[in-house]
Amino acid sequence: MAYSFRDDDMHYLLSTINYRQLEKHTYQYKGDEIYCEELEKLSTNYEGIKEICIHITGVLNEINNLPITTLFQDRCEFVNYWIFDKLFKTYPTHNIYEIILRLLNIRQKKDPNDICIIRQDLNVKNDFYKMKLLYDYALDNNTIQQNNEKRDFTCSKTYSDYITNYHKNYHDVKGECDNGDTKLYCELFRKINQIVNKNNLLLLKPCLLKISTMSDSEEVGSIKTRETLDTAKFGDEEHGEKAVVNSLQSSSTDLSVDTTSSTSMAIVFPLIGISLIIFILHKFTPLGFWIQSRWVKKKTIGLYNDEEEIDKCLGNTYESSNKNTDNNEHNVSYHAFRNSSY
């Protein structure tokens, strides 16, 4: 059964929390890329095996630091369930045992004393899922019991189906294992009964389904919002900070737009006013003609390399102009254009 990470009622079950933790992309940065490239070359019929290998080896490399809850204080057991579940779902028609052996060889090359060995005895699909369902059901038992004790508790269909399927699996396994069956899931069944009250597992019943008052789109939006807040609350190292930052960025978008708009207006209006004043001065006053002459003269002067000589010549021109005519403005313009043309 696939886990729903977005379902409100499933969200806080320990098994769901564990699988959600192991599926984080951060572990892909801690995997054995070199060894996984070797695996990819040997497994050309397994599309995407390199990325999966990097993810799996990343989790195995962090086995001692995994923030997951287990039944028997054994992270490796739960990680093995996650590995096989991932491989069975990704390659439903392939030989899982073949890829497991290659993964084992990769791990042994890197660390012969690996503290978490990938098991080889979980490759029978039907038996494996009986074990996994048993383990997850026992792990979630306390949370389910607490929910059942809540007054007027109602649940989602996904949550109700979860209890129904896992409860049925427990009864089926019990019928086999009580008759002395020696299969792997019977060994797990007996271990679970030593730490969990089997009456609790036997008596759990599906809960009363809740009536949704929201549309599908509203419900999905509500779940996404709750997941974002929950991730930040519980200190998710990878997504928690991103969730908070994204939330802040989203809430500040409108303010940023308003601020940008106000700033733009404050700049544009003065520029328009200045441009209008310059236009009036240029068109209707002698000052505009004088400014144009000065600007053309400076632009022309910039074309010459010997700036000192040009300054000297211009100075003589201005002196001559001042001595010979009272209309300095026109003579300045005349000499400026004459000198700059040759």
Average pLDDT over the chain, rounded to an integer: 74
pLDDT at residue 268, as a whole number:
61
pLDDT at residue 287, as a whole number:
59
Convert the pLDDT of each residue in 118-132 to its tens digit.
999 999 999 999 999
More confident residue, 208 or 317: 208
- pLDDT for residue 276 is more than 90: no
More confident residue, 146 or 249: 146
The pTM score is 0.61
pLDDT at residue 56, as a whole number:
96
Convert the pLDDT of each residue in 29-65 to its tens digit.
999 999 999 999 999 999 999 999 999 999 999 999 9
**Side-chain-facing half-sphere of 297: CA atoms under 13 Å:** 21
Going by pLDDT thresholds of 50, 70 and 90, the confidence category of residue 250 is very low
